[in-house]
Amino acid sequence: MTHGDTHRKTIGYILWIFGFTGSHRFYYGKPVTGTLWFFTLGLLGIGWLIDLFLIPSMDRQADLRFAAGPRDYTVAWVLLTFLGLFGAHRFYMGKWISAIIYLFTGALVGVGYLYDLWTLNDQVTQVNRR
């Protein structure tokens, strides 16, 4: 299992600016709290503010948990965020069949997009371990 700098603190802090939506927590592989932050606006801003100081720890945890490899996590997350409904992140990971399905169905009308918010880090790790 290869570990490296799989996630970037600078990206974490940029996402933290919008952290009341949980985006930085999804990026670091914390989908449960990311969803909680999304629905509570970062625990009414309190959790969001505390996360300013927790990002270095979340970054270290992500670097240990997820495998480095040919696919970059940040690129995958940018593609999911801006072009996910078209399957761009799945094309990037070499998942051609599901990417084409996403392209023609709008990520299965959003359900696939939500699934990928929860699982993208694990998907990239699986690709990187092959």
What's the pLDDT at 1? 47
In the chain, the number of structural domains is 2
Query: What does the alpha-carbon distance between residue 19 and residue 9 come to, in Å, rounded to a whole number?
Result: 14
- Please answer whether residues 101 and 86 qualify as being in contact, where contact means their C-beta atoms are separated by less than 8 angstroms: no
Range of the domain at 123: 73-129
Say if residue 32 is in the same domain as residue 54. Answer: yes
What's the pLDDT at 123? 97
Say if residue 78 is in the same domain as residue 110. Answer: yes
Structural domain ending residue among the three candidates 20, 44, 65? 65
Mean pLDDT of the chain: 93
Instruction: List alpha helices for 66-95, DSSP H.
Output: 73-83, 88-92
Structural domain ending residue among the three candidates 46, 65, 84? 65
Say if residue 48 is in the same domain as residue 81. Answer: no
Assess whether pLDDT exceeds 50 at residue 84.
yes
Query: Domain for residue 3, yes or no?
Result: no
